[in-house]
Amino acid sequence: MPATSPLRLCVVGATGRMGGTIIKEAPADRFTITGAVAAEGESAIGKTLRELEIADIDLKVVPPGSLGEQLRSADVCISFTAAAAEVANIPTVAASGRPFILGTTGFSDSQQAYVLEALGGKVPCVMASNFSIGANVLFAMAATLKSLPPDFDVSVLEMHHSGKADAPSGTAKTIAEIVSKARGYSTTVHGRSGLSKRAKGEMEVASFRGGGHPGEHAIYAFGPYEMLKFEHVAFSRSAFAQGALLAAGWISQHPEPRIYSMLDVLGFKV
């Protein structure tokens, strides 16, 4: 298709906080929403995006059973749903060959392994625990903590709205992985209570849940006499939606069937 034609998007999780934001924010000169998929049994199924006041588009929301059909008329699939939903839907995405933007978090280790196996080498895919540009800069900064002396301890604190299902956030897990690799940490502690002194070689991750907070992550590096703090705060879900749309445009130009990260999209090295 000519480079100037709008990219046709199928949005899975179209009625959710993230899917709805992506649909609302996709500029019509660059994107056309051709598919909107939501959970089976939701009252939104069969209603249009206009009726649902998501966007001024007369496109009906369909259940996941119609995903394969929706993908036939899409250039890119974007999915922000739930871990179990991805496990069920990903074989259809992989069979379609359509480039895939996967934003869902909260996979168990076995679900994560399944997703990587099901997508790897099948479709071009950008998978990221956080699609915001600032959080990806934070990932790059996390890697620089490698150069701190061994007596510095590193912790991550994340905050999200009370409706968030998974804890710690996928972003906090990514930061913990980057820091643990950089500093050779072998264990991760999630919050503390009772007698719980900090051991050497330990990564610490804590989570707060409350209100409508769209997301905040802070990395602390505690030295004996000083402290470093790197922080990223999302003002709204637009931070993630804009990144996901950027990734959709990017993946449409990268046809090799492999799994990329948002760091690849932004050209950052970690």
List of residues contacting ligand NAD (CB under 6 A): 12-19, 37-39, 42, 64, 80-82, 85, 88-89, 103-106, 128-131, 166, 240
Per-position DSSP letters for 149-199, written without gaps between them: -TT-EEEEEEEE-TT--SSS-HHHHHHHHHHHHHHT--EEEES--SS-PPP
When the beta carbons of 162 and 186 are compared against ligand NAD, the nearer one is 162
End-to-end Cα spacing for the chain: 34
CB 81 within 8 A of CB 13: yes
Q: How far is the CB of 81 from ligand NAD (least distance, A)?
A: 4
When the beta carbons of 19 and 99 are compared against ligand NAD, the nearer one is 19
When the beta carbons of 153 and 158 are compared against ligand NAD, the nearer one is 158
Task: Give catalytic status of residue 160 as yes or no.
Answer: yes
CB 116 within 8 A of CB 259: yes
Catalytic residue, chosen from 47, 122, 160, 217, is 160
When the beta carbons of 155 and 261 are compared against ligand NAD, the nearer one is 261
CB 162 within 8 A of CB 210: yes
- Residue carrying structure tokens 């996979």: 107
Nearest in space to 80 (alpha carbons), one of 17, 146, 28: 17
Q: How far is the CB of 194 from ligand NAD (least distance, A)?
A: 30
Q: How far is the CB of 8 from ligand NAD (least distance, A)?
A: 18
**Tokens linked to 64:** 């996941």
Q: How far is the CB of 152 from ligand NAD (least distance, A)?
A: 28
Task: Give catalytic status of residue 232 as yes or no.
Answer: no
Q: How far is the CB of 181 from ligand NAD (least distance, A)?
A: 20
What are the Cα distances from residue 241, in Å, to 82, 117, 245? Answer: 16, 26, 6
Which residue in the shown chain puts its C-beta closest to ligand NAD? 16
Catalytic residue, chosen from 24, 161, 164, 190, is 164
How many CA atoms, within 13 angstroms, populate the side-chain half-sphere of residue 235? 3
When the beta carbons of 148 and 233 are compared against ligand NAD, the nearer one is 233
Active site residues per annotation: 160, 164
